[in-house]
Structure 1
Amino acid sequence: MKVADKPMIDEDGEVRELTDEELKKFRPAHEVLPAELQEKLGMRRRGPQKDPTKERITIRLSTHVVENFRATGPGWQARIDSALKDWLKTHQL
């Protein structure tokens, strides 16, 4: 029996280990899944970073602020950055 003919699950319901030959056939999901499915799964590839001057930091914010920004959906961290930039326009440090 060829490896390709072997069932993936045995009579006890256990999944067998994949062979090196089988693993070599694997391809990245972005190569094999339709674009529509990739979009639904959030698999879009990121383009070049738009603002490479951003710095990763740790900051403690109130739960109220974080929950409200998160509730606005994806991009909520960028919206916090934008809100802080707007605040800086009207406040002297």
Structure 2
Amino acid sequence: MILDYPKVYEKNKCVGHGGNQEWFLDSWAKKAGCASVSATDIFIYYTKKEHKINKDVYLNHMIEMYRLMKPQERGFPYVYLYARRLSKLLNNCKYII
């Protein structure tokens, strides 16, 4: 099965299938935020019934995911840490966004 990426809209125009780390305001997040963005896509896929989302709402989720999965000096280099943290977040999620 292929992940149905969330469709991100701004002013009724689709601006992306999934997120873009260039949307971060912080320069380090723009460079090292790829794990946060992919985690946001997965989080939305599993917790939201509708996969069409406003860019501002998506960006808020992206920023929160960045806070929860903050990259280190080398980014987020270990897939097992990424998977473990994201799995824990999904298992603790008790609501639909």
In terms of fraction of residues, the more helix-rich structure is 2
Bigger relative contact order (CA 8 A; separation at least 6): 2
TM-score normalised by L of structure 2:
0.24
In terms of fraction of residues, the more strand-rich structure is 2
TM-score normalised by L of structure 1:
0.25
Q: Work out which of the two has the higher radius of gyration on C-alpha atoms and give 1 or 2.
A: 1
